[in-house]
Amino acid sequence: MSAAAQIGVTGLAVMGRNLARNFARNGYTVAVHNRTAARTRALVEEFGHEGEFVGTESAEDFVAALERPRRLVVMVKAGEPTDAVIREFAPLLEPGDMIVDGGNAHFADTRRRERELREQGIHFVGTGVSGGEEGALNGPSIMPGGSKESYEALGPMLEKISAKAADGSPCTAHIGPDGAGHFVKMVHNGIEYADMQLIAEAYQLLRDVAGYSPAEIADIFRTWNTGRLDSYLIDITAEVLAHVDAATGEPFVDVVQDQAEQKGTGRWTVQIALDLGVPVSGIAEAVFARSLSGHQDLRDASRGLAGPKAEPLGKAEAAAFADQVEQALYASKIVSYTQGFHEIAAGSDAYDWDIDLGRVASIWRGGCIIRAAFLDRIRAAYDARAELPSLLADESFAREIGEAQDDWRAVLVAATRQGVPAPGFAAALAYYDALRADRLPAALTQGQRDYFGAHTYRRTDREGSFHTLWGGDRSEVSA
């Protein structure tokens, strides 16, 4: 088979199939391959009119169909299935060729694969792809890592198929070496978890405290989506809340079991944050909220516990409360992004990736699940101050969150009094208050550690490490 395809996709489930179609629609000749050949034939037969496809059935034919440097996109399940595909195709490639992993791989696996393939002269490009099946087809946000050389050959193609921001900029860029792309995609998903949890808490507060129906809450979310909360997730939330179940005539949200599942990337975000020593309490609460929702036996056993029952507000009070919830949601959302960008910065430092945070915000403006209008402002904040320690150190965001805090606190007071759980809102506010505190109780914690474990402490009045000889005269010694 003569080389004709500019790029190839192996793994033709929904995401892989749609990504291949996206390349073809944008004028590229695409070699396609799947372990089950029938799926390859079905794609060519059904979508062949959309562009140029080269259907292949063997690994050898697939590789032979690709022009050099070969660009081989792998769209299979993360973990061992990805390693199996690499073992199958790497021996067929030549130095300078590249394998592009578009799955939700753990960045540590990506670093290992990149290192192993680099020794063979093959570029491994760990690439985060966000936007779901619709994004894969019509333009996702794409987060490629790997070598600069690989991006020179692959980048223009990714820029063409990616989503475009309002200003026409492609929602992709070279993130950094080895696992940087998959790391940024992981944190994107962690922020996504937090964003969804905060929206869900806003919904429950509007329903249980304000007394609004799902359809009324849908209208509230539509109004919010015309302002500073303009985002994909707010938009689809309104659609979900407005939907009526055809079988029962009930609001769709009332016939869905209240158990939220997860695939693991949010959990990874929290685990890696712990390794890096980065506080991502809002993201962690979102992960734990999903976990708690799935422990049905525990919840069933606890329903009789004492506590208040929410009493819906009157009409005027409800409208005022809805405005307060909007403030709380916006402020908590800023905190979620603050924590996520802090983790990216810490990962960049730890792994020497030199990630441009403003560029990350820029490529999240379209295609991805957390795309939101205020990402333009996040990009501008980091472009103005590349070493910005926190989004809360940006004058504009600091002013807005300061203006929101009274309503934010009032919402949490109402939630507590009415017995409505709002762990995401509470974690975000606690993070904000901890950052602005003059003194934290960590001084006492360190004193306890010195007492039971001689872990030493530092003083506020002089340099050095010290230990108190607890008991007896409790004298102090330098450590």
Where in the sequence numbering do the catalytic residues fall? 185, 192
CA distances, 167 to each of 107, 136, 158, 376 (Å) = 31, 21, 18, 10
CA distance 227 to 214: 20
Nearest to 13 by CA among 52, 56, 43: 43
Q: Is 318 left (phi over 0), alpha (psi -120 to 50) or beta?
A: alpha
Q: 3-class DSSP state for residue 151?
A: helix
Structure tokens at 226: 């015309």
Q: Is the Cβ–Cβ distance between 174 and 155 less than 8 Å?
A: yes
What is the rounded CA–CA span in Å between residue 456 and residue 467? 5
Query: By the 8 A CB rule, do 426 and 412 touch?
Result: yes
Closest among 368, 395, 371, 367 to 381, alpha carbons compared:
395
Beta pairing, strands 30-33 & 71-74: unpaired
Q: Which residues pair with 127 in a beta bridge?
A: 144
Helical residues (DSSP H) of 352-374, grouped into ranges = 357-363
How far apart CA 432 and CA 474 sit, in angstroms, is 36
Q: Which residues of 202-225 are buried (b: 16+ CB within 10 A; e: fewer)?
A: bbbbbbbbbbbebebbbebbbebb
Q: How would you list the strands of the sheet with 123-130, edge to edge?
A: 53-55, 30-33, 7-10, 71-74, 98-101, 123-130, 141-144
Q: List Cβ neighbours of 450 (8 Å cut-off, separation of 6 or more).
A: 456, 457, 467, 468, 470
Q: Where are the beta strands (DSSP E) in 87-190?
A: 98-101, 123-130, 141-144
Radius of gyration, CA atoms only, the chain? 25
